[in-house]
Amino acid sequence: MTFTPPPPFPTRPTLRGTFGMAASTHWLATASAQAVLERGGNAFDAAVAGAFVLHVVEPHLNGPGGDVVGLFVTEFEPTNPVVLMGQGPAPAGATVEHYRAEGLDLVPGAGALAAAIPGAVDAWLLLLRDHGSWELPDVLQFAIEYARDGHPMLGRVAATIATVRELFTQHWPTSAEQWMPGGSPVAEDELVVNPALARTLQRLAEAATGESRHERIDAARREWREGFVAEAIVEFIRDPHRHSTGGDHAGVITAADLAGFSAGYESAVTAEFRGHTIAKAGPWGQGPAILQSLAILAGFDDDLLDPSTGVGAHTILESQKLAFADREAYYGDDTQVPLDYLLSSEYADVRRRLITNSASLQLRPGHVPGVDASFPPLVEERPAGFAAGTGEPTVERTEPAIDRSEPSVDSSGVTRGDTCHIDVIDRWGNVVSATPSGGWLQSNPTIPELGFCLGTRLQMTWLEPGTPSTLMPGKRPRTTLTPTIVFGPNDSVTALGSPGGDQQDQWQLLYLLRTIIGGYSPQEAIDAPAFHSTAFPESFWPRTWTPAGAVVESRLPEAAIAELVLRGHNVTQAGGWSLGRLSAVGRSASGLLFGAANPRGAQGYAAGR
């Protein structure tokens, strides 16, 4: 069957070609990746080049001090998805006891105590070393030139800086120096430069020496982990600085922490749905939640799964609430996560029976034999003094029903960090889908020698004992970064993903339902009205939830929104083009490559030929 046609929208045609496709959340990153493909590089060369450009041109969404989760397949093993693990763990000094002694009840949403060990740069260099073909200086040249010579300032970057202006001027002077030259943010579309970051990247390129390409890239990795970068990080965070909680604290990352981390590869987790195989990262992220949702939805008839209808939206929201309740209760960086049971058809049958005609007002994790479900007390209200520079979701959970074309800033002056995404497929069949994030310019003070700041991923851990994501040295925080690869009939394959914190997999679920069942093209599925649930604790400080909460784009049919309200959902109408920032590339069953990108914010692009 095909779903109900969506309301009219100015959809763009899905790009088609045979050479290579790249898509990302910024046109300069897409263009850089496509340029690499045009010059004979493969998808891995292109993805790494585009990723470093994203660090430069979207500093409010990601940076070198952040993290990345990727999925990829190679031309040699086209059906074997591999996870690129670029999520650093908590440093040795990040203990519950230390944070409690600092007077904290939650890990802050901004400041060095929220920083995990940076993982993005080492992960990208590892991927380039093992699967790319270009030398590191050539791959980094795009980012170096944009940082050194300038690039157009995005309006959302300027707006983000304006919102944290007081924080920068009063407490983070190094950030004010970088992002507010002369006392004001660089205006939209004016050139902005970051000479310190350009020097950092140039020094990494120069450090790439050795007899073989493998040795040269490893030399640059050592320089990052043990050389001038590590030294500057450790020295800078020794001085206490303002955190989102309103207090001043020093960081705890040490040289040993930085030297001891290495990115790596892991096996993907997969599940089947309507003749397609969906691959995700493991339960140290939120990826398996979408697989749980699909397992629950697999037992419903197709006509109950149309996101553009009231019953379809209700069924999808309720399935997501059940899956994300399990995420809270069971997911974490632990080898004992009962994932086989959580993804089993028998467990999905039990969970499916909990979905009724009315919206649930409860957080309902399932029962896993021999495993106790555990999470901290639920909080619905934000604490007083909610601070700038925190969080990750693209849409505030308490936002009014307005068109949020610049979703990182709300009317109260709170700015939320966000994420980037990049997808690349080449003519040989290599495919990369990656979601870099963290190290936002508003997440930590800028380290002046380096031109970037640390991330805040530890805010996704708890200070209460006994939860699957309790803060623990050496343990990865449960990240929200969650790219996807889909294997379809006749050797078709799709790489996709989205920024958006807890919403990433929820928006991707809509894409999967609309393309796999509904007959939408990739571009139509990206453009179609989106929605998501907020009926579980958000992963970011201050960790609140909204019972039966649902945020919907106002373009969703009026009858569907009315039905959600009648069924008991606590509905917030966001702007018509405010939710979801997906991009996708892939190969169709006919062998043609395709690319599609999100029109929201006029920022995402796909390119290819």
pLDDT tens for residues 443-499?
Answer: 999 999 999 999 999 999 999 998 999 999 999 999 999 999 999 999 999 999 999
Kindly report the number of other CB atoms within 10 A of residue 256's CB atom. 13
* The pLDDT of residue 609: 86
Locate 28 and state its tokens: 């300069």
* The pLDDT of residue 7: 53
- Give the range among 90-94, 254-258, 336-340, 539-543 with minimum mean pLDDT: 539-543
* The pLDDT of residue 280: 98
Angle at 94 between CA 375 and CA 229, to 5 degrees: 130
pLDDT tier at 540, thresholds 50, 70, 90: confident
Q: Is residue 592 part of a domain?
A: yes
* The pLDDT of residue 413: 27
Rg (CA), the chain: 22
Residue 159 has pLDDT above 50, yes or no: yes
* The pLDDT of residue 304: 96
Q: Is residue 370 part of a domain?
A: yes
Locate 304 and state its tokens: 């109950």
Q: How many domains does the chain have?
A: 1
Mean pLDDT of 583-608: 93
Residue predicted with more confidence, 415 or 192: 192
Residue 375 has pLDDT above 80, yes or no: no
pLDDT tier at 8, thresholds 50, 70, 90: low
- Give the range among 171-175, 284-288, 522-526, 602-606 with minimum mean pLDDT: 602-606
Q: Is residue 500 part of a domain?
A: yes
Report residue 179: phi and psi, to 5°: -105, -5
Q: Work out the percent of the chain whose per-residue pLDDT is above 90.
A: 85
Q: How far is CA 513 from the centre of its chain?
A: 21
Q: Is residue 280 part of a domain?
A: yes
* The pLDDT of residue 526: 96
Range of the domain at 320: 266-379+481-608
Q: Is residue 252 part of a domain?
A: no
pLDDT tier at 542, thresholds 50, 70, 90: confident
Q: Is residue 587 part of a domain?
A: yes
* The pLDDT of residue 186: 87
Which CATH number is 559's domain given? Answer: 3.60.20.40
DSSP secondary structure string, 325-382? Answer: HHHHHH-SS-TT--HHHHTSHHHHHHHHTT--SS---S--PPPBTTB----PPP--SP
Q: Is residue 198 part of a domain?
A: no
Q: Is residue 516 part of a domain?
A: yes
Do the Cβ atoms of 234 and 258 come closer than 8 Å?
yes
Distance between CA atoms of residues 441 and 175, nearest Å: 8
* The pLDDT of residue 335: 81
* Phi-psi sector, 228: left (phi>0), alpha (psi -120 to 50), beta: alpha
